[in-house]
Homo-oligomer: A and B are copies of this chain.
């Protein structure tokens, strides 16, 4: 099943959310407006809002209420992407562009803050304290994840559990919360809400592992950035963890940390990882999470949405870029 087909049924509700996103990002500052409008137009799969809607179908579905859960989640995701990009382009900060880059970075930082604040403004329509607690906790853990990722940069000999904890915070929690908050907002029973929550967690884990594999196996064009970027930025992902005892990988990491790889060396590094068993091993782990996600669906009462959830989980688990 194509993702577009899955989305077709929700088209009008996704349109409601898109409109709300545009409104939320409206600002009296030109700079903020420009930065934000660009973000909405850039689109995205809107995976988090879709999970909110799908999971809410197991309870009382009311788009006018649900949009105040879906929009904050998408905004928190967007804001975290904006902050991820801050200060990353070091070329921009050299020589005479320093001040301009400084301003750009500051504006990017405040754009992220602004989007966070807009998320809360939308969520303020929801009076269930538990929903506020879930989102706040997710945001805390997102930050923890980002900083721990910085702490763990270039660290080989990582425990695989460290990696799982990191991607849980970085990705899985926000998808878990999308499912859980959608269910809670629709008054789904606690038992079913927990299945949906765990479903979201497992899908999120599977999703991020695939992402980390694709960073090595997809082409620069498919990725929209150089393949191997994770490692080039010092992020040790699952495929690399499986190879961390290989002296050739250790040499690459050291070289990246102290200087730069030539284009030829990057290609050799990619070939080394692609031809290793690490990719298959990592894929197997992603598949295991996918199966766990599907197992949670089996525990839910019979409902047409069960098939949709399976479809979207499989789509995410099987995508090849």
Report the Cα distance A308→B303, complex, angstroms.
61
List residues 105-149 of chain A with CB under 8 A from any CB of chain B.
105-107, 109-114, 116-118, 120-121, 123-127, 129, 132-133, 135-137, 139-140, 142-144, 146-148
Given A29-B151, A32-B144, A150-B31: A113 and B116 within 8 A (CB)?
yes
Main secondary structure of the interface of A (DSSP, over half): helix
CB atoms of A124 and B136 under 8 A apart: yes
CB atoms of A93 and B98 under 8 A apart: yes
**A41 is an interface residue with CB less than 8 A from chain B:** no
Report the minimum CB–CB distance from A232 to chain B (whole Å): 13
**A60 is an interface residue with CB less than 8 A from chain B:** no
CB atoms of B114 and A87 under 8 A apart: no
Interface size class of A (residues with CB under 8 A): 35 or more
State the copy count for this chain: 2
CB atoms of B129 and A102 under 8 A apart: no
**A302 is an interface residue with CB less than 8 A from chain B:** no
CB atoms of B148 and A120 under 8 A apart: no
Contact with B along A19-37 (1 / 0, CB 8 A): 0000000011111100000
Report the Cα distance A142→B114, complex, angstroms.
8
Report the Cα distance A136→B121, complex, angstroms.
5
Report the Cα distance A111→B102, complex, angstroms.
19
Report the Cα distance A30→B148, complex, angstroms.
8
**A10 is an interface residue with CB less than 8 A from chain B:** no
CB atoms of A114 and B143 under 8 A apart: yes
Question: Can you list 7 contacts pairing A with B, beta carbon distance less than 8 Å?
Answer: A29-B144, A31-B150, A86-B109, A87-B106, A103-B150, A126-B129, A127-B127
A interface residue numbers (CB < 8 A to B): 27-32, 83, 86-87, 90, 93, 98-99, 102-103, 105-107, 109-114, 116-118, 120-121, 123-127, 129, 132-133, 135-137, 139-140, 142-144, 146-148, 150-151
Additional A-B contact list (14), CB under 8 Å, known A31-B150, A87-B106? A27-B144, A31-B151, A83-B109, A86-B106, A87-B105, A90-B98, A93-B98, A107-B150, A111-B143, A113-B139, A116-B116, A117-B139, A117-B143, A120-B139
